[in-house]
Amino acid sequence: MMARTASYVPKTDPGVPSFSLGFTDSSHEGASTQETEREKSPEAANLIEQLDSLVQRIASSAAKGKNTSPQIQRETGGESSAKFETLGGMNQIPDDMKQKCYIWGTRLKEDADGNTNEYEEMCTLIGQGEYILMRMHLASLQAKSDIESQIVSAICLILNNKNEKRFKEQIYCLPPDIVCMALSDHPNGEFVSPKTKKEFRVEAYPSFIPFIDRKKLTSHPYIFAPVCYSGHWWLWLINTRKRKCQILDPLHKKAPTDERKAINKFTGYVFSRLITYAGGEPLQKGEREKEIKSPYVKISGQKTSYDCAVYVMKWMELIEPENIKKGKYQWDNWPQEEVDHYRVEYASRILFSEMNKQRDRAIRESSAIRLSKPSSVLLSPFCQINSADIETG
């Protein structure tokens, strides 16, 4: 099932320098290669073989009772290799392959007629249904761009499939599709939609219901629920045992406006209805369900106006709800270069996920990109790529 696909145009900033990347794309759109010639390159075939071999080894170790799920660790942009998620566990891939994946997945191409490939299907995550990502969704990982909700949903689906206790038993990451659509239909948090003249009902969004794991939504003690409104993301932490909610906002320490307060009340109602739809108990009963309290947690957050989704996605991986004390969460915030690097990380995390049935293609076509020399510049999503950076001969 495909998520909504609003047209995406990457933002540009004339103040951002353009770097010559020194790579070639051996699969550029002007090539007349026949299908029979698009065999896996030795490099791609070898990488796929290594990935499959790793999964088999992990499965074998698990059968012997070994614990193969490492603790979550912070990744840094300067590491020589980076961890990425698969259903079987964690694997190591070189940074250059990660960079190639980012370049391949996020670069929009334009043909002679001015048409772009933004609607090209790039990823199909297999879970409770088929969640499809197009190139324009991945392109939102480009520098200084607002990240599309489909990317956040994809990360939720991938985290929920991690083979570790945190996500198998404790925390469920609720994909934001339904709440984002509900906020579109109920702007400013009106409980009666000015569009449909009806109150919110989960059944009104059948396209996204398959991606809700009803069992985890009602069994896990915590729900992490990303929310986006007017281009800004924040994260709800819902304690399903105590029926208490808190908000982690990368930019605000309290609701900035009365409108946001109204939106938070409506959003709490949506989450309560979703839990009830899945067979659980509402967060509040009767009319109090429309007055759910959601105090803000004081936490260090974003340093820019466009990284809110990055923070929300990383918080879903790292935040320990029980460590929130007196409305505060103490932690060491990331340096900006590390936040920038996460945009590169998420491209490979999604495209190389074992949930992606097009993973072999992602590996093959990422491998086809040639980096003429290693460069720390390539790790930064602030590289502006244009035709002068690509050798087509």
CATH code where residue 121 lies: 3.40.395.10
Q: Is residue 104 part of a domain?
A: yes
Residue 17: inside a domain: no
Task: Give the number of domains in the chain.
Answer: 1
Q: Give the domain extent around 218.
A: 23-30+39-58+74-391
In-domain check, residue 149? yes
pLDDT value at residue 30 = 39
Nearest CA to 353 among 12, 11, 93? 93
pLDDT at residue number 329: 94
Phi and psi at residue 290, to the nearest 5°:
-95, 10
Could you tell me which of 81, 91, 88 has the C-alpha nearest to residue 50? 91
Residues 222, 9: Cα–Cα separation, whole Å: 35
What is the DSSP code string of 324-354? -BTTB----PPPHHHHHHHHHHHHHHHHT-T
Judge whether 8 lies within some domain.
Answer: no
Distance of CA 223 to the CA centre of its chain: 16
Q: Tell me the two tokens of residue 213.
A: 């794991």
Q: For the chain (length 393 residues), average pLDDT per consecutive 10?
A: 39 35 40 40 58 52 43 36 39 83 93 92 93 98 95 98 96 98 96 96 97 97 98 98 97 97 98 98 97 96 95 97 92 92 95 97 93 52 46 35
243 within domain boundaries: yes
